[in-house]
Amino acid sequence: MHAYLIIRDGNQWADVVRLVPGESVTMGRAPTNTVVVKDERCSRNHAEVFYTQGQWIIRDLQSRNGTLVSGEQLRHDHTLEPGDILQIGNSHLAYVEDLSQAFPETGSLLKASKAVAGQPSELGTETADVDSIFESFEPTTITHRKKQSRFLDEPSLADTDESFPKVGRAAAQLCRLAFELAQATDVVSLAKEALGGLFAGTRVDAGAILLRQRDDAGNRRGEDLEMIASRSDSAHAYHRVSPFLASTVLRDGQAVMARNVMDDSNLGNRDSQGEILATSVICAPVRLGGAIYGLVHLYTTSAEVTTDPDDLEFTLAVADTVGVALENLNRRQELAENLNQVRTENVHLREQLGVQSEIVGSSEVMLQVARQIARAAPSRATVLIRGESGVGKELVARAVHFSSPRVKAPFVCLNCAALSETLLESELFGHEKGSFTGATERKIGKFEQADQGTLMLDEIGEMSPNIQAKFLRVLEGHPFERVGGSAQIQVDVRVIAATNRDLERDVAEGKFRRDLYFRLHVLEIFVPGLRKRSEDIPELAEFFLRKFSDETGRKIKGFTPRAMEELLRYRWPGNVREMKNVIERAVVLALGEYVDHEDLVLSTLNTAGDTESGIFAPVGPQEFQPTSLAEMESEHIRRTLASTGWNKSRAAGILGIERSTLDRKIRRYELKQNAASK
């Protein structure tokens, strides 16, 4: 069967797409669509039309603003009928099966009487030439077509031929000049363009445009005149307007013309030889709304050529046009300045937002992370964030969410390692009242809480195999049931997973489902450890110093050179989380105005994945002495206690264990404080 989509272009139905059975036609902003609709309200992949069971069907592809069919919102697949109008944003397409009947004599489609003009669309398929069709059914007869007015072209015969009325020639010149002045980007180019028009429209051979100097407020209201542009087509250079003539025009706000001004010092300035070259003079105010910005000064130097009242009229019209153009230029410059100010404020706001979210760092690796976030945010794909503990994986997940179209929807975070298998299932999917002991009421799970938003699952590698299977099914788009319930629940949630584990190794060892790994590993963002971006350490340290100084009320000015050297040399096994705690402790303990190296409590733990020893010097193969883990731990604790003068609280902090745990290990290994460390 024959079927067509007719696309509206401006105020008429212009392009036609032929529908071919077996080939679907997609519509949207993305250039990969069959019909590309350039409309901000149109989604990248908005809708599609396809053929099935002898009928053409339209389906909305979960677009942001929806699709209308003949004025009604499309909620399900719809069978198209001849005359149906498809509305996508402000764009319209009509479905017809017979082009000869598509355009009745009224000039509108069967169901398009209320349709408004849409935006032009680009086609990526074969289109029919329907110019003759549209012309034959236009309700009115178009008698003339012209792309651009001749009054805006280069000077034509009508501008120069004396047989044409002078008023008509002047009107054409003024029209073209006003168009040129409106495009000027600065005052100088505007003045030069105006002079060119004046010389073409009058019989003068010298002149200039002079504007009042700006006052302290930036307005042109000063007493002195500044020459913006001048021109002389005679053998003599331009001579500035006389003070008498300038003050007269500025005071009265009226244009004047004088003839036979030879030897009249009030109307013409003398040259270097004391001669007044002007034979006739025109001076017109540049004004707008009662304010006078400056003046136009023109004169002739030949006794055989004089100005007439038409020249005065033309000059006054140009001067007023210059006033309007000058005001518009000032407003454009103000808008540009305001726009730059807004952009600067936006940059500052972004910086403030970045500080509030504690995403700090301008190193190349962090810029790469920012670029990965920007690429991942707009999509619906699952994101896997990897990195060591403490690098800020949750902050990256928040950045992805708040940069995505789901920004107004919930962001829900859950740590999979903090819950048992039963509790994790309940937290993810919810439970019904009485489903297990302690379930005294219905609980809404994290998936339901995050509907239309984002669910961030931290430590995804700690999820048990049973939960992995159910979790995978939900990721595939299937509904789920609450624990102890039977109702099918469907949600729209974007999942962001985070882990510091080697998932590939867990898959190989059977600890993590292979199919779930591939489902999660769509987009990956790797957050490097702090030791791999040492250039961010000073920036992070200063940020945390300001943060905790404000919170505690301490007046800490900064770090001593020795302290900063220690921070840069340290390996940071706990990454940014450890630095935050170290700086907070230093702010509280610092005695002076600057944090010194003695205020920094740094651990001797190895960094994840590193082979360097903490306090033990590296040894060669010949020097290695086999020892048990208990002996190594005993020696490590003894040396840590000795380095802190047996300050158990401080030693426990360095070792990363509780004070009670340290006391048990001291008793187990029978460690005693020697006299030298007392």
Read off the tokens for 363: 């190193």
Confidence check: pLDDT of 652 > 50? yes
Burial string for 426-452 (b: 16+ CB within 10 Å, else e) reads: bbbbbbbeebeeeeeeebebbbbbbbe
| 546-565 average pLDDT score | 89
pLDDT at 58 over 90: yes
pLDDT of 295: 92
**492-502: pLDDT as tens digits:** 999 999 999 88
To the nearest whole number, what is the mean pLDDT of the chain? 79
The percent of residues above 70 in pLDDT, for the chain, comes to 79
| pLDDT average, residue stretch 142-167 | 53
Residue 458 half-sphere exposure, CB side, CA atoms within 13 Å?
19
pLDDT of the residue at 379 = 87
Residue 322's closest CA among 342, 359, 296? Answer: 296
> What's the confidence (pLDDT) of residue 224?
81
CB-CB contact of 112 with 92 (8 Å): yes
Other Cβ atoms less than 10 A from the Cβ of 456: the count is 26
| Residue 133 pLDDT | 36
Write down the pLDDT at residue 169: 72
State the pLDDT at residue 498: 93
In the predicted model, is pLDDT for residue 152 greater than 60? no
Q: What is the rounded distance in angstroms from the CA atom of residue 427 to the CA atom of residue 412?
A: 11
Which range is most confident: 10-24, 154-168, 228-242? 228-242
Confidence at residue 57, expressed as pLDDT on a 0 to 100 scale: 93
Would you state the pLDDT for residue 612? 37
Query: What is the model's pLDDT at position 554?
Result: 87
Does the pLDDT value for residue 135 go beyond 50? no
How many residues would you count in the chain? 678
Would you call 128 helix, strand, or coil by DSSP?
A: coil
**Residue 59 token pair:** 């389906």
**Average pLDDT over every residue of 305-316:** 87
Q: How far lies 462's CA from each of 217, 326, 383, 414, 467, in Å? A: 67, 69, 17, 12, 10
| pLDDT above 50 (res 377) | yes
Joined together, the tokens standing for residue 130 give 């329907």
**Confidence tier at 613 by pLDDT (50, 70, 90):** very low
117 confidence band (pLDDT: 50, 70, 90): very low
Out of 43-57, 272-286, 299-313, 441-455, which region has the weakest mean confidence (pLDDT)? 272-286
Distance CA 122, CA 333 (A): 35
How many angstroms separate the CA atoms of 520 and 474, rounded?
A: 12
Pairing of the two strands 494-499 and 383-386? parallel
CA distances from 87 to 12, 42, 349 (A): 15, 10, 38
pLDDT in tens, 160-211: 555 556 666 777 788 888 888 888 888 898 899 999 989 988 889 999 999 9
What pLDDT is recorded for position 79?
93
The b/e string for 228-264 (b: 16+ C-beta within 10 A; e otherwise) is bbbbbeeeeebbebbeebbebbbeeeebebbeebeee
**Which of 67-76, 122-131, 134-143, 634-643 is least confident?**
122-131
What's the pTM?
0.42
pLDDT band, residue 111 (cuts 50/70/90): very low
Strand, coil or helix: what is 222? strand
> What is the Cα–Cα distance from 498 to 358, expressed in whole angstroms?
18
Which residue did the predictor score with more confidence, 98 or 47?
47
Q: pLDDT tens digits for 573-611?
A: 889 999 999 999 999 888 888 999 888 888 777 665 443
Q: What's the DSSP call for residue 80?
A: -
Top-confidence residue, 439 or 398:
398
pLDDT above 50 (res 667): yes
Most distant CA atoms of the chain, gap in Å: 121
Distance CA 415, CA 446 (A): 11
| Among the ranges given (30-34, 59-63, 158-162, 509-513), the one the predictor scored with the smallest mean pLDDT | 158-162
The rounded distance, in Å, linking the Cα atoms of 509 and 504 is 9
CA angle in degrees (0–180, nearest 5) for 308-309-312:
100
Q: What is the C-alpha separation between 242 and 234, in angstroms, rounded?
A: 19
Q: Rounded distance, CA 542 to CA 548, Å? A: 10
Percent of the chain with pLDDT over 90: 18
What pLDDT score was predicted for residue 583? 92
